[in-house]
Amino acid sequence: MHSSICMPISPSSHTLLKSNNNPFLGDHLSSTPCLPLRRRPSLATRALLSTTKEAVLKDFHERRALKIISGLQNFNKDNVASVVTAAEKGGATHVDIACDPELVKLAISLTSLPVCVSSVDPETFPAAVEAGALMVEIGNYDSFYEMGVVFTPEQILNLTKETKRILPSVALSVTVPHTLSLPDQVKLAENLEQEGVDIIQTEGGKSSYPSKPGVLGLIEKATPTLAAAYSISRAVKIPVMCSSGLSAVTAPMAITAGAAGVGVGSAVNKLNDLVAMIAAVRSLANSLEASAGRHSTSAERALKM
């Protein structure tokens, strides 16, 4: 039996914001959680924020994003360093780590890729952004499912609104839980788009238990997240990232289904050898590049007919 979780936002988050001077955070020094006082940022600041977000989202808009995920509750510096290094050397476009300022500093010392931080507590995001994170993610719920905890659409919307309130100019991705029915996933995605979310992420790998080995098993495992990507991408205009249970076999299927990118975690972060991690990321990147090449060739042929 699952239980739901509600993460109240404490006043300490507002104190934290007052001490930050990162231009990516905007200017919102509110003394009351519900009625933030915001001054209009300068034209130069708005231009900088716009340019930064545009750069972070560029690969999504080009439908070629590959995000490597170390894990929301993975605070092992050695493992995170290996995952980040593998993402950099293997050809990924983004890396996603736990929301911890020290891990962010470690990551940006190892890669030039945009660093995304994942959490279900919005008040932890500002310190990570101050440390150098360029994107925040509400999601990567797998570790909570293992504890019997699920998130309702209302809770996710509230977390989203709070995150947008305290970090209005930072790229925001939100995961739609696979625990919802497919129609409810689509409805939540539509509501998140209305709240100003930049990317919708799907999931489903751990809910699928393949009955076949090999390639058939890989396709079976990816089915829930592929179905979500297909349905959600046709309901919203913002990019959809397909994540959970993907491999080099199924990553191109996600793009064909309508996703703008793929997110891969355990297929990389569970490996014990850095060389093997790099090889896994390179295999994913190559599969996406090959798929893009086939689509380009098909389009060129269609134009010549």
Which secondary structure element, helix H or strand E, spans residue 254, and what is its range?
A: helix 251-257
Structure tokens at 116: 């995304």
Which of 26-30, 93-97, 160-164, 181-185 is predicted with the least confidence, judged by mean pLDDT? 26-30
- pLDDT at position 24 is 36
- Between 231 and 45, name the one with better pLDDT: 231
What pTM was computed for the model? 0.80
Residue at 284: amino acid letter: L
Instruction: Name residues whose C-beta falls within 8 Å of residue 272's C-beta, 6 or more positions apart in sequence.
Output: none
CA atoms within 13 Å, Cβ hemisphere of 75: 6
The answer to whether the CB of 70 falls within 8 A of the CB of 97 is: yes
Q: Is residue 32 part of a domain?
A: no
The boundaries of the domain holding residue 16 are 11-26+44-304
The packing angle between helices 182-194 and 153-166, to 10°, is 20
Query: Percent helix, strand and coil across the chain, each rounded to 5?
Result: 50, 15, 35
- Asked if pLDDT for residue 298 goes beyond 50, the answer is no
Which secondary structure element, helix H or strand E, spans residue 159, and what is its range?
A: helix 153-166
- pLDDT tens digits, one per residue of 234-243: 999 999 999 9
Burial of 222 (0-12, 13-18, 19+ CB in 10 A): buried
Strands (DSSP E) contained in 176-279 are 199-201, 240-243, 261-264
Angle at alpha carbon of residue 300, lines to 298 and 305, rounded to 5°: 95
- Asked if pLDDT for residue 115 goes beyond 60, the answer is yes
Mean pLDDT across the chain, nearest whole number? 83
Whole-angstrom distance, CA of residue 79 vs CA of residue 70: 8
Q: Is residue 3 part of a domain?
A: no
- Between 114 and 47, name the one with better pLDDT: 114
Q: Is residue 33 part of a domain?
A: no
Residue at 285: amino acid letter: A
CATH number for the domain spanning 177: value is 3.20.20.70
pLDDT-above-70 percentage for the chain: 77
- Asked if pLDDT for residue 254 goes beyond 60, the answer is yes
- Asked if pLDDT for residue 5 goes beyond 90, the answer is no
- Between 32 and 143, name the one with better pLDDT: 143
Whole-angstrom distance, CA of residue 213 vs CA of residue 93: 30
Q: Across the strands, what pairs with 69?
A: 96
CA distances to 43, 73, 218, 291, 297 from 118, rounded to whole Å, are 30, 9, 26, 28, 37
Whole-angstrom distance, CA of residue 70 vs CA of residue 93: 14
Instruction: Name residues whose C-beta falls within 8 Å of residue 25's C-beta, 6 or more positions apart in sequence.
Output: 17, 126, 129, 130, 166, 167, 169, 170
- pLDDT at position 213 is 78
Q: Is residue 296 part of a domain?
A: yes
Sign of CA dihedral 176, 134, 86, 103: negative
Which secondary structure element, helix H or strand E, spans residue 15, and what is its range?
A: helix 12-19
Q: At 212, is the pLDDT very low, low, confident or very high (cuts 50, 70, 90)?
A: confident
Burial of 72 (0-12, 13-18, 19+ CB in 10 A): buried
Q: Is residue 34 part of a domain?
A: no
Q: Is residue 5 part of a domain?
A: no
Number of structural domains found in the chain:
1
CA 223 from centroid of its chain's CA atoms? 19
